[in-house]
């Protein structure tokens, strides 16, 4: 008999993703407004509920996708720039790569579209030698 291992549900994964996001937000020194935009602009009361009780959160599919990109961006930066200060500061530094046009990655990510997060993630994956 094959024993099945319980897989974490969407709620558990969302809670873990939100907890991790709030730690990243602290490391990147994101304002509340920046955090809200990166999460897909949930209402302020929803945002603060998520922050105080991530286990009870029910984020939309869009927000879960955003969390996935943001966690991937953070991880890629930790690999590319092992010094925490350099990795965390990278998102705010102006970047001459064509996709940034002299702006910072954070400015690109704050465009409000989930595609902006995807572009930054793909850029970092390409820099790591992964898929582009």
- Residue pLDDT, tens place only, 114-125: 999 999 999 999
Q: For position 109, what pLDDT does the model report?
A: 97
Q: For position 4, what pLDDT does the model report?
A: 57
Residues contacting residue 5 through CB under 8 Å, at least 6 positions apart:
none
DSSP 98: T
**91: number of Cβ within 10 Å:** 22
* pLDDT confidence tier of residue 6, bands split at 50, 70 and 90: very low
Residues contacting residue 27 through CB under 8 Å, at least 6 positions apart:
74, 84, 88
Say yes or no to pLDDT of 2 above 90.
Answer: no
- Residue pLDDT, tens place only, 33-88: 999 999 999 999 999 999 999 888 899 999 999 999 999 999 999 999 999 999 99
């Amino acid at each position: 008999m094959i024993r099945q291992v319980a897989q974490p549900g969407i709620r558990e994964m969302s809670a873990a993703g939100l907890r991790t996001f709030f730690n990243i937000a602290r490391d990147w020194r994101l304002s509340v407004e920046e955090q809200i935009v990166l999460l897909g602009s949930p209402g302020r009361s929803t945002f603060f509920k998520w922050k105080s009780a991530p286990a009870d959160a029910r984020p939309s599919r869009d927000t879960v996708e955003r969390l996935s990109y943001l966690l991937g961006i953070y991880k890629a930066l930790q690999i590319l720039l092992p010094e925490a200060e350099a990795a965390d500061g990278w998102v705010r530094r102006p970047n001459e790569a064509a996709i940034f046009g002299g702006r910072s990655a954070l400015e690109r990510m704050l465009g409000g579209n989930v595609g902006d997060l995807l572009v930054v993630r793909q850029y970092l994956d390409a820099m790591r030698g992964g898929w582009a």
